[in-house]
Amino acid sequence: MKGTNGQLPKLRPDLRLYLFHGADEAGAADLAKRLAASLPDAERVDLDAVALRKDPGRLADEAASMSLFGDARLIRATGIGEESLAALTLLLDADRAGNPVIAVAPSVKASSKIVKLATDSPRAVAVACYAPSAADAERIAGTMLTDAGLRPAAGLARRIADAAGTDRAVMAQEVEKLALFLDAAPDRPHDASLADLDAIGADLGEAELAGAVDALIEGRPGNLGAALARLDEGGASPVPWLRAVQRRLVTLGEMRSAVDRGEPADAVMKRHRIFWREEAKTTGDLRRWSAGMIATALQRVRGAELAAMSSGTAGAVGAEHDAVALARRLADRR
């Protein structure tokens, strides 16, 4: 069965497998986490790709097994791919299951064998997770607010989506903070205003975010540290500014490649619609960054984002440390 892109399905007794896949790894992981929260008291069994490859039958066995205490069970399989096809096939073909399996297949395409298996089976649902557009992100944030027992004021969902850089996981974190702040829940709904959002510091602020990105790209570690400290004051997630750094690096990489092929820098900037007031700064960035440096930095920033998403506060601290270290290395090259 094919689910709606980025939409959280409901647990159903006739479904054995809930497969979240696509390029938006953080979004897929967040949907899986939220679905698992539907069974808060269930016994958890965690498996990974290595375990399923070594013993394909274990997934079906775990899904059919009863809890020692007679409680519900929930099987979670993370980081899987095509190597788990045999395990998923055995699960869907088994005589009985009884316990739901929530699986996350990061970056697996819709044309993959495991996605086709889940889509074609009446016992499974496959949900594609791709980075949402601004309009989709606003809709997703609105749904999250309602599901959390919040009655959002006009513009609140859009504000959360923008502050989170349209990242589902970050939106979920901000909605959770807002619900806790207002003591809201589905059984005790509460109005939520823009002022409430300001009170918990969920809005990153364009100036602070842009300042952090500029300081990193230009190799100013002192300014970067100050900008990150201002972002931290509001309890903001590091994911939006890490995403902003990635977008800047991708654009810079495309421009750097064109210049390396012999295209004039001013023509490259016009093609990329660089604002005339930013041309001098962009020229400096192109001189400062080589293609190899950009590729390495992108890899490290993406790694920092994954660490921040998976490790909570420790991950955020690590991401900031890596960013400042990168800015310091750029400063040393001057």
- What pLDDT sits at residue 206? 57
- What pLDDT sits at residue 34? 85
User: Could you give the C-alpha distances from 128 to 4, 103, 111, 146, in angstroms and in order?
Assistant: 7, 12, 11, 22
CA dihedral angle for residue 178, residue 184, residue 187, residue 191, rounded to 10 degrees: -90
Please give, one letter per residue, the 3-state secondary structure of 236-277.
CCCHHHHHHHHHHHHHHHHHHHHHHCCCCHHHHHHHCCCCHH
- For 242-265, what is the mean pLDDT? 87
The radius of gyration of the chain's CA atoms, rounded to the nearest angstrom, is 22
Higher pLDDT, 176 or 126: 126
- What pLDDT sits at residue 202? 47
Q: Are 39 and 99 in contact (CB under 8 A)?
A: no
Does position 11 have pLDDT exceeding 50, yes or no?
Answer: yes
Q: Are 231 and 250 in contact (CB under 8 A)?
A: no
Q: What is the pLDDT of residues 19-48, one digit of tens each?
A: 999 877 777 888 888 899 888 888 889 999
- What pLDDT sits at residue 156? 92
Enumerate domains of the chain plus CATH numbers: 17-128 (3.40.50.300), 134-199 (1.10.8), 206-332 (1.20.272.10)
Q: How far is CA 334 from the centre of its chain?
A: 34
- For 103-115, what is the mean pLDDT? 89
- Interacting residues of 283 by C-beta distance below 8 A, sequence separation 6+: 265, 269
- For 238-264, what is the mean pLDDT? 85
Instruction: Give which of 233, 229, 264, 252 is closest to 298, Cα–Cα.
Output: 252
- What pLDDT sits at residue 234? 58
pTM more than 0.75: no
